[in-house]
A and B are shown apart, each in its own frame.
Chain A
Amino acid sequence: MRDFLGVLPELAVVLTALLAILVDIAAREKNPSASQGVTAVGLTVAAALALSLPTSNGMLMSDQLFSDGFSAWFRALFCVVGVITAIFSPLYLRHRNIRLGEYYSLLAMSVFGMMVMSSSANLLLFFVGLETMSISLYVLVSLRRDDATSVEGGLKYLVLGAFSSAFLLYGMALIFGGIGSLDYAVIGEYLRQSHGVGPMTLTGIGLLLVGFAFKVSAVPFHFWSPDVYEGAPTTITAFMSTGAKAAAFVGLIRVFGVALAETSEHWTFALAVISVLTMTLGNVVAIRQTSVKRMLAYSSIAHAGYMLVAVIAGSREAYAAAGFYLVGYAFMNLGAFGVLMLINQRGKGDYSFESLRGMGTVHPLLGLTMTVFMLSLIGIPPTAGFFGKLYVFSAAIKQGYLWLVIIGLLNSAVGAYYYLKVISTMFMSKAEGEVQFGQPVAYKAALAISSLLIIILGMFPEQLVTAMLKAVP
C-alpha cells in the first residue's frame, strides 16, 4: 500500500498519457484542444501529488525507488515543466500545422521517464526511465516532418542518443561485472568497504561519465544538442533543455555524487575539465549566433557547465544548490522560449535577432517578462538565476574550487553579452510595422507566473534553499 501511494504521481502521469490519446480520438473533431486540457490538468494533479505525499527518506518497491525530498521536488518540477510546455504548445502546433493527437501523450510519457530517472535507486531502472524519456523525445523532436531541419535533428538525436545509451549500458555492465550489483546503495557500500577500484569498475565509471556527459550535453559530447535544439519544435526544445537536462542532472548527482562518491578522486578532475570546456565553449559559440533559438541552445550548454561545478564540489550544500539552480533554470529557460515562440508568430518564420526588433517598445509587458528571463540567465540579482549561481559557486569555494569558480564567473560575464543583445534589440531598436500577437490567457499567465517566480525566488530564496537542503539525498 505504501508502495502504491509512493508512486501515485507516476501513475497519474501514465494515466494522463493514456487519457490524452483516448480523448483525442474521441473528441478530436468537436474539441481539438481537449487532449491539451487533459494533459495540463493531469500533470498538475501529479505535481500536487508529488509535493503533498509524505517523504520519509525511505525506499519504495523493494528498494528500487527513492522516496526522498529530492525526488519529490524533481518529480513535481518535471510535471510543471510538462504543464507549461502543454500550455505553450497549441499556438505553436497550429502555426506549424501539426495535428497529432499523440503529441500530448508522448509529452506525458517523457515526463514519466524523467520521474523514473530522478527517483530510481538502481542503474537498470534509471536506464529504463532514460529510454522511456528519450524514445518519446525522438518522436517529438522530428515532429515537423515537412521540415528538413526537424528531420535532421530527430535523426541526429536518435543516432547519438542511442550511441550514448550504449555507452551508459556498457558502463553499467562493467560496473556490474566489477561490483556485482546495479543498486546504488550496494555499489556505494561495496566501494566503502573495499579499498581501491578494480580496472573493470574504473572503465565502467569512465563509460558512465561519457554517457552522462552526452545526456547533459557537456563538451566534448555536446555536438548533437545545437542542431537538435534548433531542429525540434520550439516547444520541445524548451521542454528538453529544461526537463530532460534536469532529469539527467539528478541522475548524475545520484549516481556519481552518492553511489560512486567514494571514487571521486578518479573522476573529479575529468569532470572539472569538462565543466570548464563546457561553459567556455557554450558561451563563446553562443556569442556568434544570429538565431536566438540557436543562441539559447548554446547558452544551455554553458549553463550545464555551471551546474557541473556543483557536482564537482560534491557536498550536500552543492547538491542543494544544483537543485535550486535547476528549478530556477527551468522557469527562466521555458519562459525565454515561450516569449520567443510568440515573437515567431509574427510570421517571419525565423528566430533571428532581427525578429525581436522593437518588440519591447510595442509590447512593453512582454518585453519586460523577456527581460526578466534574460537577466536571470545572466545572473543579475534579484533573480533566481543570480541566487542559483551564487549558491553553486559558494558551495564550490567552500570545497576549495576557487579556480573553477573564477572561471565560471568570468564566463558569466561573457554570457552577459548575448543575453543583453536580446534585451537591447527588443528595446533599443525600432520596430518595423505593427506587431500583433494572439495570445491565449493561459499562455500569458504561464509567462507571467514564471517571471514572477523567478523574481520571488531571487528575493526570497530562503524557503527553497532550506527545502532543497532538507531534500538532498
Chain B
Amino acid sequence: MLLTLCIAIPALTSLLVLLVPRTSPGLVRVLALAGSLVTFLVSLSVLSIFKVGEASFQMIEKVPWVPSIGADWHLGVDGISLFLIVLTTLLTVLCILASWHSIQDRVHEYHFFFMLLEAGMIGVFAALDLFVFYVMWEVMLVPMFFLIGVWGGQRRLYATIKFFLFTMAGSVLMLAGVLYLYFHTIDPETQRNTFNLLHVTAQSSYSIGTQTWLFLAFGLAFAIKVPLFPLHTWLPDAHTEAPTAGSVILAGVLLKMGTYGFLRFCLPIFPEATLEFVPWVSWLSIIGITYGAMVAMVQKDMKKLVAYSSVAHLGFVMIGMFALNQQGLAGSLLQQINHGISTGALFLLVGVVYERRHTRLIADYGGIAKVMPVYAALFMIVALSSIGLPITNGFVGEFLILVGTFASNTLYGVIATSGVILAAVYLLWMYQRVFYGKLIHEANQKLKDITLFEATPIVVLIVLALWIGIYPDPLLVRMEPSLQLVLEKFQQVQLSQLQGVLH
C-alpha cells in the first residue's frame, strides 16, 4: 500500500488544489506543502521498513489494471529505486518551499502540475510493469511542459517544445520496444503475454541482433533523458528557461530517469548488447564530461553554467555504470543521488540572487560576498560538494566511479579523471567572479543576504551532502545487493562466452 500511497497522495493533492477558490492562493501553497510532506513521510517509512541485504524487490503490490492485455498495477522497490524515490519526495517538498514567494502568477495551476509531476516521477521509479512504467514516463512530460512553458523565462516556448519533442521522439521508439518484449514474455500463471517486468527480465533470452535493436529502442529514450552527448541540446535550453523549482526537479529527478532506465532495463534485459555498446557509451560519456565542462566554463549565465555542468556530471554517472563492475555501478547510483542534491542546491542558490536582481549574468555580480556573507558561505559548500571535495557526497560518488572505470579500462579512467579538474575550474572561477573582487555594480550594494526561509531547503541539502560524504554506508549497503544482481547477469554472459571460446 505504501508505494501506491506515494503516488496517490500527490495525485489527489493535485486534484484538491483545483477545488480551492481562486481567491486564496495561500491555501494552495499550504495544501501542496502538506501533500508533499505527507508523501515524503510515507517514503521515509518505505525507507525504514526496507530490508537491508535483500537484492530482489520488496513491498510488492499487484492489482489487475487492464486484464485483457495483461497489464497490472504492479509496484515494488529495490536498492536501485529506493533512494531515487526518497530523493524525489524530498526535492518536491523543497521545491514547493522554494516556489513559495517566487511563484505569484497562476498559483493553482502551478501546484496542480507540480503535484502531478511528483506522482508521475514516483510512478516511474516504482513501476514493475512495463505498461505502468510507460504510462508514468509519458504522464510526467505534460506537467513539465507546462511548468517550463508557463512559468519559464524569455525563450520558454522554444525550450519547452524542444524538451517535449526530444523526449517524445525517444519514448515512441521505446513503446515499440515495450510491445516487442510484451509479445515475447509469457506469464507462467495465466499463459498469456504480460508486461510484468520480473517475468520480462527473467525470461529474456534474445539473440544478439534482437538485443541490439531493443537496446537502441530503449537506450535512445534513456540517452535523451540522461542526456548523453550529442542528444543533450534540449537540456541547457530547458534548464535555463525553467523556473527555479522546475530546474531543480529537472536536474534532480528527471535526468535520473534516463540513467535509472539504463540500470533497470538495458543492463539486465539486454546484457550482451550492453557489452557491445560499452565503448560507444563510454566514449560519448567522456565527450560529455569534457565537452560539458568546457562549455560550462565559458558560460556568461550562471544557470546555463550549472546546466552544462549537469551534462558533465551525468557523463560520470554513465561511464561508471558502463564500467560494469561493483564499484562503478555503486558509484554511478550514488552519484545520481548526489547530483540531485548538489545540483538541486546550486539551482536553488542561483534562484536566490535571481529573485533579487532578475539577472543571472555573472558579469552583473562581483564582490557580493561582502553584502551576502551567509549566502556566499552556503554557495561555497554546495560548490565544493559539486566539485567532489573529500568529506562531501560528490567525492564518494566520483571516487567509486573512477575506481570502477580504471578497473575496467585505464584509458577511460585517465580521461575521465581529467574531467574532475575541469569541474573545479568552472565552478571556482564562477565563484570567484561572482563573490570576490570589488562591488562594481550599484545595484549590488544593497543586496539583502539570504533569508532563513530561503536558506532552509539549501541547508537541508547541505546536511545530506555532508552526511553522505562522511558516512555513505547506509546508502551503499542498501544499493549493493540489487546492483550485484544486475552484475551477475554479465558474469553469466561473460562465462558463457568464455565457454563458447574454449569449446
- A413–B65 Cα distance when bound, in Å, is 26
Given A364-B109, A427-B149, A428-B157, verify A381-B134 contact (CB < 8 Å).
yes
Minimum CB–CB distance for A331 against chain B, Å: 19
A465: CB under 8 A from chain B?
A: yes
For chain A residues 363-399, which have a beta carbon within 8 Å of chain B? Answer: 364, 375, 378, 380-382, 386, 390-391, 393-394, 397-398
Report yes or no: B161 in contact with A424, Cβ–Cβ below 8 A. Answer: yes
Q: Are A417 and B180 in contact (CB under 8 A)?
A: no
Interface size of A by CB at 8 A reads: 35
A364-B112 Cα distance, complex, nearest whole Å:
13
In angstroms, how far is the closest chain B Cβ from the Cβ of A107? Answer: 35
List of A residues within 8 angstroms of B165 by Cβ: 413, 416-417, 420
Report the minimum CB–CB distance from B123 to chain A (whole Å).
11
Stretch at the interface among B30-38, B50-58, B167-175, B384-392: B167-175
**Residues of A contacting B60 with CB < 8 Å?**
none
Contact across chains for A420 and B141 when beta carbons are under 8 A apart: no
Partner of B168, one of A382, A416, A469: A416
A320 and B478 CA atoms in complex are apart in Å by 46
The chain B residue sitting closest to A367, CB to CB, is B109
Encode B106-139 as 1/0 by CB contact (under 8 A) with A.
1001000000000000000000000000110011
Per-residue 0/1 for A460-473: is the Cβ within 8 Å of any B Cβ (1 yes, 0 no)? Answer: 01100110010000
Q: How far is the CB of A66 from chain B (nearest CB, A)?
A: 23
Assess the A380–B139 pair: CB atoms within 8 A.
yes
Residues of B within 8 A of A364 (CB): 109
A402–B180 CB distance below 8 A: yes
Q: Which of B155-190 contact A (CB under 8 A)?
A: 156-157, 160-161, 164-165, 168-169, 172-173, 175-176, 179-180, 182-183
Does B68 count as interface, using CB distance less than 8 angstroms?
yes
Check A412 against B172 for contact (C-beta < 8 Å).
Answer: yes
Let me know if B141 and A393 touch, CB within 8 A: no
- Shortest B304–chain A CB gap in Å is 21
CB-based contact B141/A402 at 8 Å:
no
Contact B67 A424 (CB under 8 A): no
Say yes or no for B412: interface residue by CB 8 A criterion.
no
Q: Say if the beta carbon of B380 comes within 8 Å of chain A.
A: no
**B66 within 8 A of partner (CB):** yes
For B146, what are the chain A residues with a Cβ–Cβ distance below 8 Å?
A: 427
> Which residue of B has the minimal Cβ distance to A371?
B142
Report the Cα distance A414→B150, complex, angstroms: 22
Q: Are A428 and B156 in contact (CB under 8 A)?
A: yes
A397 touches B135 (CB 8 A): no
A381-B134, A413-B169, A428-B156 known; A393 and B175 CB under 8 Å?
yes
CA of A361 to CA of B106, assembled, Å: 9
Q: Is the CB of A428 within 8 A of B149?
A: yes
Interface contact A409-B69, CB-CB below 8 Å: no
A406 within 8 A of B: yes
Confirm or deny: B270 has a beta carbon within 8 angstroms of a beta carbon on chain A: no
| A19 to B: closest C-beta gap in Å | 41
**Residue on B with the closest CB to A405?**
B176
- Residue from the list B67, B139, B141, B157 in contact with A382, Cβ < 8 A: B139
Q: What are the residues of chain B within 8 A of A417 when measuring CB–CB?
A: 161, 165
Q: A116 CB to closest chain B CB, in angstroms?
A: 31
**Count of inter-chain pairs, beta carbons less than 8 A:** 84
Q: Which residues of B contact A380 (CB under 8 A)?
A: 138-139, 141-142
**Residues from chain A with Cβ under 8 Å of B164 in the complex:** 416, 420
Please judge, given known A-B contacts A397-B179, A461-B66, whether A424 and B157 are in contact too, CB under 8 Å.
Answer: yes
Does A441 have its Cβ within 8 Å of any Cβ on chain B?
Answer: no
Quick one: closest B residue to A427, CB to CB?
A: B150
In the complex, which residues of chain B have a beta carbon less than 8 angstroms from the beta carbon of A410? 169, 172-173
B163 to chain A, nearest CB (A): 10
Q: Considering the chains assembled together, what is the distance between the CA atoms of A424 and B145 in angstroms?
A: 9
A465–B68 CB distance below 8 A? yes
Q: How far is the CB of B138 from chain A (nearest CB, A)?
A: 5
Q: Is the CB of A375 within 8 A of B142?
A: yes
Q: B157, B161, B175: which has the most chain A beta carbons within 10 Å?
A: B175
Chain B nearest CB: distance from A366 CB in Å? 14
- In the assembled complex, the Cα of A151 lies from the Cα of B139 at a distance in Å of 43
Find out whether the CB atom of B135 lies under 8 angstroms from the CB atom of A381.
Answer: yes
Interface string of B66-88 (1 = CB under 8 A from A): 11110000000000000000000
Rounded to whole angstroms, the CA-CA distance of A386 and B66 in the bound complex is 14
Complex Cα distance, B144 from A420, in Å, reads: 13
**Is the pair B179, A393 in contact by a Cβ cutoff of 8 Å?**
yes
Contacts A398-B183, A409-B176 given; indicate if A424 touches B149 (C-beta within 8 A). Answer: yes
Whole-angstrom distance from the CB of B144 to the nearest CB of chain A?
A: 12
Specify the chain B residue showing the minimal Cβ separation from A375. B142
Interface string of A334-377 (1 = CB under 8 A from B): 00000000000000000000000000010010000000000100
Residues in A neighbouring B69, C-beta threshold 8 A: 391, 394, 465
Distance in angstroms between the alpha carbons of A420 and B176 in the assembled complex: 22
Closest to B161 in A: A420
Closest to A381 in B: B135
Interface residues of A in 179-238 (CB under 8 A from B): none
CB neighbours (8 Å) of B139 from chain A are 380-382
A466 to B67, CA, bound (A): 9
Q: Which residues from 443 to 473 on chain A have a C-beta closer than 8 Å to any C-beta of chain B?
A: 461-462, 465-466, 469
* Complex-state Cα separation, A88 to B156, whole angstroms: 35
A461 CA to B64 CA in the complex, in Å? 12
Complex interface: chain A residues within 8 A of B134 (CB): 381
Q: Give chain A nearest CB distance to B325 CB in angstroms.
A: 35
When chains A and B are docked, how far (Å) is the Cα of A386 from the Cα of B149? 23
Give chain A residues whose Cβ lies under 8 Å from the Cβ of B138. 380-381, 386
Contact A413 B68 (CB under 8 A): no
Give B468-494 interface residues, CB cut-off 8 Å to A: none
Contact between A409 and B182, CB atoms less than 8 A apart? no
**Which chain B residue lies CB-closest to A417?**
B165
**B152 (CB) vs chain A CBs: closest residue:** A428
Taking A381-B134, A381-B139 as contacts, is the C-beta distance between A428 and B179 under 8 angstroms? no
| A279 shortest CB reach to chain B, Å | 13
Most chain B CB within 10 A, of A390, A421, A465, is at: A390
Residues of A contacting B157 with CB < 8 Å? 424, 428-429
Partner of A394, one of B161, B169, B172, B179: B179
In the bound complex, CA of A265 to CA of B6 (Å) = 51
Contacts of B109 in A (CB 8 A): 364
- Closest B residue to A406 by beta carbon equals B176
Contact, CB under 8 Å: B66 / A462: yes
Chain A residues with Cβ under 8 A from B182's Cβ?
Answer: 394
Q: Given the complex of chains A and B, what is the CA–CA distance between A416 and B182 in angstroms?
A: 25
Residue of B nearest to A387 (CB): B66
With beta carbons under 8 angstroms apart, the residue of B65, B145, B156, B175 that contacts A420 is B145
Chain A nearest CB from B238 CB (Å) reads: 14
Contacts of A394 on B, CB cut-off 8 Å? 69, 179, 182-183
Is the pair B135, A382 in contact by a Cβ cutoff of 8 Å?
A: yes
**Residue of B whose beta carbon sits closest to that of A394:** B179
How distant is A411 from chain B, measured CB to nearest CB, in Å? 9
**B244 → chain A, closest Cβ, in Å?**
18
Residues of B within 8 A of A402 (CB): 176, 180
Nearest CB of B to A61, in Å:
33
A398 partner residues in chain B, CB cutoff 8 A = 183
Chain B residues closer than 8 Å to A427, beta-carbon distance? 146, 149-150
Assembled-state Cα–Cα distance A155/B269 (Å): 58
Query: What are 14 A-B pairs at a CB distance below 8 A?
Result: A380-B142, A390-B175, A391-B69, A402-B176, A402-B180, A406-B176, A410-B173, A417-B165, A421-B161, A424-B161, A427-B150, A428-B156, A462-B67, A465-B66
Beyond the given A397-B180, A429-B157, could you list 12 further A-B residue pairs with CB under 8 A, ordered by the A residue number?
Answer: A380-B142, A405-B179, A406-B173, A406-B176, A409-B173, A410-B172, A417-B165, A420-B164, A424-B149, A424-B161, A427-B150, A428-B157
| Residues of chain B whose beta carbon lies under 8 Å from any beta carbon of chain A | 65-69, 106, 109, 134-135, 138-139, 141-142, 145-146, 149-150, 156-157, 160-161, 164-165, 168-169, 172-173, 175-176, 179-180, 182-183
Can you list the 10 inter-chain pairs with the closest CB atoms, starting with the nearest? A409-B172, A381-B135, A428-B149, A413-B169, A413-B172, A413-B168, A397-B179, A394-B179, A416-B168, A465-B68
